[in-house]
Structure 1
Amino acid sequence: MNYENILISIENGIAIITINRPKKLNALNKATIEELHVALKTLEGDAEVKVIIITGSGEKAFVAGADISEFAHFSEAEGGRLAAKGQELLFDLVENLGTPVIAAINGFALGGGLELAMACHFRVASDNARMGLPETSLGVIPGYGGTQRLAQLVGKGRAMEMIMTAGMIGTEKAFAFGLINHMVAQEELLPFCKKIATKITNNSPVAIAKAIQAVNAGFKEGIDGYKTEIKAFGECFGTEDFKEGTSAFLEKRKASFPGK
């Protein structure tokens, strides 16, 4: 597929998706969400891709929000469908993807941009990044999972304050809150993310996918995360990766995981 709003590069098992709408500060419009959906599904199906990094083009923004012009005149029903479709196509997809997804936040991550970053499995931000959910200043609330994921990551009280004030926080506060895993200089952002990604590529893709499933289960209503973990743990024993990993350990050599 030829993409108009994103760029993709793949090297050494690491795919980098760059949201490329610099004149709009990489805002998420309908077309970009659909392109990201296709790209993520395609990369997940590529056995050579072990880790995905999502970032924004330029030095100003990761994603500065949703494209408000697309939905400013929506009705209640249209607004509900917008949130439901967006969550299904992109945000829930990212969270539950079997391939690890790292958000490399290179500037403003606001509204839908922060929601996209929070859907990723973890986040690294440059020292100039600013994060927030400004939706209440527009008379609406976060609709792409922001009310749920922000509270999970930073706690209910901090999430309430960030959403109610519609303000932005910097990288240091985001790190202190647990919203991001690491903060680095902007020029070090992608090299740092690639370094973490390389460590991930050394491990079993099958085990990592099951670990993502098990961790996520603990945050889903009506699902017992411990039972999910037990089931996934047992399933690992039937994989070629388990046989290779244990054999390599006993033979004191580096494992070469087939990803099966």
Structure 2
Amino acid sequence: MSAVHLDIAGPVATLTLDNPAKLNALTPEMLHDLNGHLNQVESDPAVRVVLLTGNHPKAFCVGADINAWAALSPASFARSWVRDGHRIFDRLARLAKPTIAVLNGHAFGGGLELAAACDIRMMAEGARLALPEASVGVVPGWSGTQRLARLLPEPVLKEMALLGRHIGAERAASLGFVAEVSEDPMATAQEIAANAANLSPRATEITKNMIHAGVGEDAAALIEALGGGLIAGSDDKVEGVSAFREKRAPHFSGQ
């Protein structure tokens, strides 16, 4: 049975990490299921907003399950575990729809990196953020030194990754990493999602792409996607395709 659940209620899709016995630590199977769910919501035009949370009263996600990677060879660790996780987290970050991480509890290591891949974050008052990788002799592998470096001030990121310090909800909000601290972050996120669902999905998608291009999130592909979308609506594209099919020279109007 999947440990990542997808529930769709009208325009809002909710992804829930459900591995409570291990504080929602991520396994290869969970990463695989998360990727499949992301593909589903991306292709569903009825879904306008995606929420991501964890099924545990005190933990959103405490990172990767150590038992899943501890015995891997250096080559397998780099080629499979790190690269696969990176690919799936990037998939989340580049989803066309707005995403909200609902930090119902602690977000450590890979859990913090997962939250960072969402557009905004809601956080419970008692939750904490941490990058504890050095305490078990490894380094952040799913964008903790890259995407997080764009979202947090460098000294704060070093404080967490190099010194092992935790960041509380109020400080995370003061740094702009968390949009809002709430007694009930899911209720807050659902209210935001309900409002966002009334916005133009095409406008929000393109705006998200433009922002990501500006901050370097898959900039090369986004620039070409935006250009491709623009030219796809032109008269010249229609004429070019028609000429190809009719085996004649095209007559472009520049429109």
Query: If the length of structure 1 is used for normalisation, what is the TM-score?
Result: 0.83
Which of 203, 208, 213 is the aligned partner of 2:204? 208
Deviations 1:190-238 (A, max 9, x none): 111011111111111111111121111123289489x949x56x84995
Which of 94, 108, 111 is the aligned partner of 1:110? 108
Q: d(CA) in 2 for partners of 1:122 and 1:143?
A: 21
Contact 1:127 1:183 in 2 (8 A): yes
Contact 1:218 1:224 in 2 (8 A): no
Give 1:92's aligned amino acid. Answer: D
Contact 2:212 2:219 in 1 (8 A): no
Contact 1:207 1:236 in 2 (8 A): no
Q: d(CA) in 1 for partners of 2:33 and 2:217?
A: 30
Which of 210, 215, 219 is the aligned partner of 1:219? 215
- 2:195 aligns to what? 199
Which of 119, 122, 125 is the aligned partner of 1:121? 119
Contact 1:26 1:57 in 2 (8 A): yes
Unaligned runs of 5+ in 2: 235-255
- 2:94 aligns to what? 96
SS of the residue corresponding to residue 196 of structure 2 reads: helix
- 2:237 aligns to what? none
TM-superposed deviation, 1:75: 2.3
Structure of greater Rg: 2
Contact 1:19 1:55 in 2 (8 A): yes
- 2:82 aligns to what? 83
SS of the residue corresponding to residue 146 of structure 2 reads: helix
- 1:249 aligns to what? none
TM-superposed deviation, 1:85: 1.4
Q: d(CA) in 2 for partners of 1:237 and 1:203?
A: 23
TM-superposed deviation, 1:161: 1.5
Query: Share of identical aligned residues, percent?
Result: 36
Give 2:122's aligned amino acid. Answer: V
Runs of 4+ in 1 over 6 A off after TM superposition: none
TM-superposed deviation, 1:11: 1.5
Q: d(CA) in 2 for partners of 1:140 and 1:129?
A: 24
Q: d(CA) in 2 for partners of 1:6 and 1:84?
A: 20
Contact 2:123 2:185 in 1 (8 A): yes
**Matched ranges for 1:1-260 at <5 A:** 4-81=2-79, 82-88=81-87, 90-185=88-183, 188-220=184-216, 223=219, 228=223, 231=226, 235=230
Deviations 1:104-141 (A, max 9, x none): 00001000100000001111101111111100111111
Over the aligned positions, Cα root-mean-square deviation in angstroms equals 2.5
SS of the residue corresponding to residue 147 of structure 1 reads: coil
Q: d(CA) in 1 for partners of 2:200 and 2:192?
A: 15
Q: Mark the CA change 1:237 to 1:196 in structure 2 (over 3 Å): closer, same or farther.
A: farther
Q: d(CA) in 1 for partners of 2:117 and 2:97?
A: 13
Q: d(CA) in 2 for partners of 1:221 and 1:55?
A: 23
Contact 1:123 1:181 in 2 (8 A): yes
- 1:254 aligns to what? none
Q: d(CA) in 1 for partners of 2:173 and 2:141?
A: 24
Query: If the length of structure 2 is used for normalisation, what is the TM-score?
Result: 0.84
